[in-house]
Amino acid sequence: MTNLHAPMQQSKLQNYNSPRGAEAYKADYGNKLHRKWSDKRERALLAGYFAEIGDVDSILDLPCGHGRLADFLKSRCKTLVEADWSFTMVSLNRGDHGDDGRRYFRASALEVPLPDRSVDVVLSFRLSHHLETQDLRERHLRELFRVAKKAVIVTWFSATSLKNLLRQVRVVLAGKKPKNVLRNERVRAVAAECGYTQRRARPLFRIGSGHVVGLFFRDGAAR
């Protein structure tokens, strides 16, 4: 991998790749109420999206983290491919979930080491808003569309969300750093360039979260 594997601030990357950071991230979803709520909402949206996608042979989850969604995804495919930039996250995931019907490797979501159309569905949650430039956020989308054969499910931080609009006020008044956002019309345009059509773009929560969960189908793919 080139230096594109590190599109985030170095302090964040070091924490994410450390055993302590990985365990803390895992613990958050078991201990923090807002994490539990977001996890429940994500699973509800995913259940509906996979009902539209139908049965598939393979799913790639990148970044997979500690495997928060691993069992949910494995129940919907024959082979689950788990990948993450963090060696520690991949190791933690594998230790918790084993190798039966699963593959693990280290990878950047900006340079996925897989051929075009090599997995049926690609899932990428909670990465886009960490990518520091518009070019990187769009590159991330294009890599997902390239690798997927049938469908892509991806999250991004919406430029038009209430949370981002409030953040923009704080940028002006308090000097806060702007969020790393995408506009839905630009996401649709990138998808169209890659031969995909957006089927869903639902907010994780209308208040309290700026994340959108999008579902895209490759044009002409059987459903």
User: pLDDT confidence of 35, banded at 50, 70, 90?
Assistant: confident
User: pLDDT confidence of 5, banded at 50, 70, 90?
Assistant: very low
What distance in Å separates the CA atoms of residue 104 and residue 98, rounded to the nearest whole number?
10
What distance in Å separates the CA atoms of residue 203 and residue 212, rounded to the nearest whole number?
4
Which strands, in side-by-side order, build the sheet including 196-203? 102-106, 77-84, 56-61, 119-124, 148-157, 211-218, 196-203
What pLDDT is stored for residue 30 in this prediction?
79
- All structural domains of the chain: 8-218 (3.40.50.150)
pLDDT digits (tens, 9 = 90+) for 85-97: 999 999 999 999 9
User: pLDDT confidence of 2, banded at 50, 70, 90?
Assistant: very low
Q: What are the backbone angles phi and psi of residue 80, rounded to the nearest 5°?
A: -105, 125
pLDDT digits (tens, 9 = 90+) for 53-97: 998 999 999 999 999 999 999 999 999 999 999 999 999 999 999
Burial of residue 223 (CB within 10 Å: 0-12, 13-18, 19+) is: exposed
What pLDDT is stored for residue 1 in this prediction?
45
Whether the CB-CB separation of 130 and 63 falls below 8 Å is answered with: no
User: pLDDT confidence of 9, banded at 50, 70, 90?
Assistant: low
Whether the CB-CB separation of 170 and 176 falls below 8 Å is answered with: yes
Type of residue numbered 169: V
**What proportion of the chain, given as a percentage, has pLDDT over 70?**
93
* Lowest-confidence pick of 2-6, 29-33, 116-120, 122-126: 2-6
Instruction: Give the mean pLDDT of the chain.
Output: 92
Whether the CB-CB separation of 66 and 127 falls below 8 Å is answered with: no
